[in-house]
Amino acid sequence: MAVNLTVNGDERLLDIDGDTPLLWVLRDELGLKGTKFGCGAGLCGACTVHLNGQPVRSCSTPVELASGGQVVTIEGLSDGDRLHALQDAWIEHGVPQCGYCQSGQIMSAVHLLANNPTPSRGEIVAAMTGNLCRCGTYSRIIAAVESVVVSNTSDSSQGREA
Ligand code: FES
Ligand code: FES
């Protein structure tokens, strides 16, 4: 079937079996290898991307469901050489160990802060709970997200003063 996707702002037209997981399309057809295959069963979150602004498990999303939609992957977060604030925070806090789960972690964190720029620790933990890390980097993930929350809080209080 013909599938039309906008991926990281670029329109892509594919002729592909509609049952093909979105993850295969991103990695094998479009060469976007930043999104990872973990469990392949919707359980670990390593394959998380955004589809129409919502985080989805691309390993278990048939590409036909994404047709006509807007997909954002880890490669689409930066603006040229300028990384997303969360990517900078990940580097600053040395979050990754093996790194395998981290693009999915960041995509979930980006969605959280896009919808709630100043979440509590409990809200961060709840939002990130579906993203598993076999290396146990959870405390650094929370610290990195909280560092961006602090900067969002300071931006909004400066805005109120202005
Ligand atoms: S690889 Fe998709 S949820 Fe694990
Ligand atoms: S950093 Fe290794 S699985 Fe998360």
Task: State the pLDDT at residue 162.
Answer: 44
d(C-alpha 104, C-alpha 133), whole Å: 10
Parse the chain into domains and list their residue ranges.
Answer: 2-76, 85-156
To test the ligand 2 pocket, which listed residue (39, 44, 90, 97) has its Cβ within 8 A of the most ligand atoms?
97
What topology does CATH give the domain 85-156? DNA polymerase; domain 1 (1.10.150)
Ligand 1 centroid to Cα of residue 53, in Å, is 18
Between 102-106, 122-126, 136-140, 154-158, the lowest mean confidence (pLDDT) is in 154-158
**Alpha-carbon torsion angle 7, 9, 15, 17, nearest 10:** 20
Please tell me if the CB atom of residue 37 comes closer than 6 angstroms to any atom of ligand 1.
Answer: yes
The pair of structure tokens assigned to 130 is 């579906």
What topology does CATH give the domain 2-76? Ubiquitin-like (UB roll) (3.10.20)
Least Cα distance to 154 among 98, 94, 85, 83 occurs for: 85
What is the value of pTM for the model shown? 0.94
- Condensed to tens digits (0 to 9), the pLDDT of residues 45-84 reads 999 999 999 999 999 999 999 999 999 999 999 999 999 9
